[in-house]
Structure 1
Amino acid sequence: MKSKFIKSVLVASSLVMVLAGCGQGASSSTTSQQNNKQGNPVEIEFWYGNSGVIGETTKDLVEQFNQSQDEVKVNAVFQESTNNIGKKLLTAIVGNAVPDVVQLNARFWPAFAYNKALLPLDPYIQNDPEFNYSDFVDSFVDNTLIEGKTYTIPFNRSTPILYYNKDIVKEIGLDLEHPVTTWDEMMAAAKKATVVKDGKTERFGYASLLPPLYYYSLMWSNGGDILSPDQKDVVIDQAPAIQGLEMYRKMIYDDKIMMQPLGGNRDGDQEMINFQNGKVAFLLASTGDLNQIQNNVKFKLGVDFVPKFKEYAVPSTSGGNLAIVAKAPKEKQDAAWKFIKFLTDKQQTIYFAQHTGYMPIRKSAIEAPEMVKFYEENPFFKTTVDQLPYGRGIPVVPDFEKIETEIQNALGKTYAENVPAQESMKEAADKIRELLKK
């Protein structure tokens, strides 16, 4: 697997061949050197992929960095989504017109790292006494390494979490602070909360956002997984992994208590809109959605851990990491490291967490007096951190983007076409096994 090359849909040659055949851009390097000699700041390009409140907060931090010093100027370029960054970066590498620092999600960065498109960051980490990588939350750091080398730094990280309408919870007679703990309790609560009139569902008891990461919580909680421990075989079609999906299928089609996941984007998921409008009682969504949901609901909001089968489990790799592009000139790589240091410093971590709902990536930020006070005033944010010890990472393998696409297709067939979980996941597993053989 590790020898596989990413192939562009536009260019038949492999990414590794492109990287091997193209050195650093001479004109960019020369311009950087000239700017430095003239006392001008080194300009770097930063690609980010979040919109809405998260995007605005990211731009605020870029502006704060630019105003805090005069050695580096960051030009932030919005790329529509973190998934889109992965696709555009490949094209940029092929075209030899790369950005310098990028926000990449867990689906994409391993493929670029395996193919030497990202710069190993260990020399910076080891030689920078101000950085203190041991201060980062352990479960976040796990998803930055390949064969002992660090290729990315955690930035905006989140986990799924359960949102609920306290007015409805009170109506159906459940505890207002912890209405459900297990998935059996969730199903029972969803049945009570669902409202049907004249054969039409006016209020669903439960909904979940569409991406696979929300399903991983159910799978891991039940003892299932995506790949075997040695990452050489697929286990997502085994009983522990499919029980949660089959439960969802029955909730959607048999009991009709779960809204069919429809998807959208972070600011326009129909499931989230329906929840905010009181048409869904319980919603599985991201901690990164907390600010948006709080600002848009007109009822009493509740937040709690994702329900469990056997044990609590949530993916801690949702969101994005920061990476430096290997083809960027050395001077721009050094400038990019200064920018990454700033974005992930304790104070910026606190600022980003308080303004977005994403979790603090540094332990010192979680324990900081201003964050402790913030949690006292905003207990929902504290719930997201309390759930963090149950975080797990997705496999760090070159083709995970393709693997997850097959998982997404399987989920879609069950959600949209009422295909039994065993059937949809077996089809996905067979295709993933073929990917692993290549």
Structure 2
Amino acid sequence: MKRKPIWTRTWGLLALSLFVFLAACGGGASQGSEPASAADGSSSEASTSPVKVVWWHSMSGELGETVDNLVKQFNESQSDVQVQAVYQGEYDEGLNKFKTAMGSGSGPTMMQTYEVGSRFMIDSQAITPMQQFIDADKFDLSQLEENILAYYTFDNKLYSMPFNTSNPILYYNKDAFKAAGLDPEHPPTTYAGIEAAAQKLSKDGQSGGAFPIYSWLMEQLLANQDAQLLNNNNGRSALATESLVNSQAAVDTLTWWKKLVDDKVMINLGRKTDDTKKAFAAGQIAMTMDSTASLRGIVNSVGGKFEVGTAPIPKPSDEYKGKGGVIVGGASLWIMNDKSEAEQQAAWKFIKFLTEPSTQAYWHVNTGYFPITKKAYDEELVKENMKKYPQFETAVTQLHDTKIDPATQGAVMGIFPEARQLTETAMEEAINGSKTPKEALDNAAAQITQKLQDYNDSIAQ
């Protein structure tokens, strides 16, 4: 028997498992609608009017301006398709609006959703897998970055097209390294190395560093030692039923993090990455971890006060060299299956435009996100930008050095946003000393596991 679409079941469990304060769901079509065979979205009966594609996205500020410019370039390049980009708020808010619109006919043609929303998007049965368009059009996926495609690939099928992509790197103050007698060209690569450097850097009112209490960083530090966050191969061989956030690797990592703060060689600035970025740019801390997408903003904020260095995120020890790697963060693009074939094909045409080397070069240079297309690095625009921001080479190397396996593909679960909040609470409890790292992570794992079970029950009905 075909299971009922997810939004027709008890919405309370699903809302609980996806977002705090998520709105009630509507109805919609089943997932399996086939795209038209024509790659350009046209048909013999198509009218001369362009097909309209509504794109809901979550890019604001300068990122939003870049999105608008890309849409303008595409619309002016041809007359068959006209894309309308509509900002829907931050990721949580945008997906909330999407859920509310499902089945009403008022939703978008295509949707930008952050990576941790992937499991929900698949389970919603509201999307047409990107693989169907790829196969029908014989689109060559080998032109795109394998390590980026890996996150959005399930059962050898690409469900969405990567759009804005990043991973974390270590940022450090090269001038502070020199002043502390450290080699600025050989930054630390291990937990012990970070600790030793932080001890020497902590002087004259400057702290050795600060890492934001951000679950994404914990996930990355675990993947970098090839440790998984969930059972069932990080939720990729089957729905995850158990959180592994209390694994020995996680306990050891949080214990190290707490020791840095307890020994006063690093400071705790809380959850907001903006606070650590500001402290770094002001010279108050000498090291931090942040997204590759923040590189240009960090360098510009420093404004020549000191030289910014970048390095891969650390591993527990040299024994882990060659193991694990980073997980891509960011968001991808999904095509909705309740729209006509012509409209879905029009969206696919726009998505193909977004993957072109020149488009990716423009996107990368103006946002700091990775190009998803390999040949984008051959574009003069990217070459010139790499000369201006040579620190980005660290990000490219780290991405390419990552071994693709379930740990580095990244965990997937329908309750990921809530799981992150619970993990960050545990990190705070441990770092502030109200619980031991093991107690805090055990408690978080138990709560996440229960929410996973509730979610799985809701989609099995």
Same fold, TM exceeding 0.5? Answer: yes
2:249 to 216, 240, 246: 240
Q: CA deviation at 1:153?
A: 0.6
Counterpart for residue 111 of structure 1: 120
Could you tell me whether the CA contact under 8 Å between 1:170 and 1:176 is conserved in 2? Answer: yes
Could you tell me whether the CA contact under 8 Å between 1:314 and 1:390 is conserved in 2? Answer: yes
Letter of the 1:110 partner, please give it: R
Q: CA deviation at 1:98?
A: 0.5
1:393 aligns with 2:401: no
Could you tell me whether the CA contact under 8 Å between 1:224 and 1:239 is conserved in 2? Answer: no
Counterpart for residue 85 of structure 1: 94
Counterpart for residue 133 of structure 2: 124
Counterpart for residue 256 of structure 1: 264
Letter of the 1:181 partner, please give it: T
Counterpart for residue 364 of structure 2: 353
Structure 2 residue matching 1:387: 3-state secondary structure:
helix
Structure 1 unaligned blocks of 5 or more: 25-31, 197-201
Query: For each residue in 1:108-153, what CA deviation from the matched residue of structure 2 results, as whole angstroms up to 9, or x when unmatched?
Result: 1221212211211222111224x42121111211122233432201
Counterpart for residue 106 of structure 2: 97
Q: CA deviation at 1:57?
A: 2.2
Structure 1 residue matching 2:207: 3-state secondary structure:
strand
1:53–1:258: structure 2 CA closer, same or farther, 3 Å change rule? Answer: farther
* Structure 1 length-normalised TM: 0.86
Structure 1 residue matching 2:208: 3-state secondary structure:
strand
Q: CA deviation at 1:330?
A: 2.6
1:76 aligns with 2:122: no
Following superposition of structure 1 onto structure 2, how do residues 75-224 of structure 1 map, counting pairs within 5 Å? 75-93=84-102, 95-129=104-138, 131-195=139-203, 202-224=205-227
1:183–1:55: structure 2 CA closer, same or farther, 3 Å change rule? Answer: farther
Structure 1 residue matching 2:53: 3-state secondary structure:
strand
Letter of the 2:117 partner, please give it: F
Tell me the distance in 1 between the aligned counterparts of 2:22 and 2:246. 33
Counterpart for residue 27 of structure 1: none
Q: CA deviation at 1:158?
A: 0.7
Q: CA deviation at 1:341?
A: 0.9
Could you tell me whether the CA contact under 8 Å between 2:30 and 2:126 is conserved in 1? Answer: no
Tell me the distance in 2 between the aligned counterparts of 1:163 and 1:257. 16
1:403–1:4: structure 2 CA closer, same or farther, 3 Å change rule? Answer: farther
1:305–1:433: structure 2 CA closer, same or farther, 3 Å change rule? Answer: same
Structure 2 residue matching 1:285: 3-state secondary structure:
strand
1:341 aligns with 2:341: no
1:380–1:422: structure 2 CA closer, same or farther, 3 Å change rule? Answer: same
Letter of the 1:260 partner, please give it: N
Could you tell me whether the CA contact under 8 Å between 2:22 and 2:96 is conserved in 1? Answer: no
1:48–1:11: structure 2 CA closer, same or farther, 3 Å change rule? Answer: closer
Could you tell me whether the CA contact under 8 Å between 2:30 and 2:337 is conserved in 1? Answer: no
Tell me the distance in 2 between the aligned counterparts of 1:44 and 1:417. 52
Give the paired residue count.
415
Counterpart for residue 405 of structure 2: none
Q: CA deviation at 1:318?
A: 0.6
Could you tell me whether the CA contact under 8 Å between 1:274 and 1:280 is conserved in 2? Answer: yes
Following superposition of structure 1 onto structure 2, how do residues 53-68 of structure 1 map, counting pairs within 5 Å? 53-68=62-77
1:270 to 262, 275, 279: 275
2:419 to 400, 403, 407: 403
Q: CA deviation at 1:422?
A: 0.6
Identity %, equivalent residues: 30
Query: For each residue in 1:272-330, what CA deviation from the matched residue of structure 2 results, as whole angstroms up to 9, or x when unmatched?
Result: 11111111111100000011111110321111111211236443321111111222333
Tell me the distance in 1 between the aligned counterparts of 2:30 and 2:334. 22
Tell me the distance in 2 between the aligned counterparts of 1:52 and 1:384. 24
* Structure 2 length-normalised TM: 0.82
- Greater displacement, 222-231 / 163-172: 222-231
Structure 2 unaligned blocks of 5 or more: 16-20, 34-40, 403-407, 455-461
1:360–1:171: structure 2 CA closer, same or farther, 3 Å change rule? Answer: same
1:308 to 315, 320, 327: 315
1:12–1:302: structure 2 CA closer, same or farther, 3 Å change rule? Answer: closer
- Greater displacement, 143-152 / 355-364: 143-152
Q: CA deviation at 1:435?
A: 2.8
